[in-house]
Amino acid sequence: MMPRIFIAVDIPQLHQERIFEIQNKFSTFKLKQVKQSHLHITMKFLGEVKESTVQNVLESLSSLNMAGFDASIGQLGLFPKKSSPKVLWVGADGSFTELHDAIENSLNKITFPKDDKEFIPHITISRIKHLSKTEKKDFLSIYGKLKNIHIGNMRVNTVKLKKSILTPSGPIYETIHEFELQ
């Protein structure tokens, strides 16, 4: 079986705990909460790739030329839109777009196409299964009260190439390699 890989920035334990508190505010709804230990910012999802391709990705990312940066975690958001929410997320503010572009340029050399959609740095915290009209109204009310929340600041010094192993009880993430930013 080919590994399913992605590139991510992990977030500090303290921020994970604060996000867990936010998730609990939505616990009465039919949501699939992301495990606290799985909270991260996906920089690029590569999908299922051959082992030889994993090596090429490692080599490409080793030449990543990007300085570490300060970031702020906060502000709730919804994908695809507020009127039909499917994903609840927390935003990430900092040089994430520049980091994403550097990763894209690095991987473009080994034929990974650039993403079509605009990159929005975020941490997925819940997937929304189904909300009745009443539930949606209640959900959006809680969302509105928490929308402008500030989780905290962090320093981004590394990006990680991770493997996702799908199991019946949810994914298991393993770090394949950690890349230091300059």
**pLDDT for 26-57, tens place per residue?**
999 999 999 999 999 999 999 999 988 999 99
**pLDDT for 75-119, tens place per residue?**
999 999 999 999 999 999 999 999 999 999 999 888 788 888 899
How many Å apart are CA 103 and CA 61, to the nearest integer? 7
Number of structural domains found in the chain: 1
CA-closest candidate to residue 74, choices 160, 156, 141, 146: 146
Burial class (CB in 10 A: 0-12, 13-18, 19+), 90: buried
pLDDT at site 41: 98
Domain assignment of residue 54, given as a range: 4-180
pLDDT at site 152: 98
Question: Which CATH number covers residue 67?
Answer: 3.90.1140.10
Tell me whether residue 100 is one of the annotated catalytic residues. no
Q: Supply the DSSP symbol for 15.
A: H
Q: Supply the DSSP symbol for 111.
A: T
The active-site residue, picked from 100, 122, 130, 150, is: 122
The active-site residue, picked from 15, 38, 40, 100, is: 40
Task: Please tell me the pTM assigned to this model.
Answer: 0.94
Tell me whether residue 40 is one of the annotated catalytic residues. yes
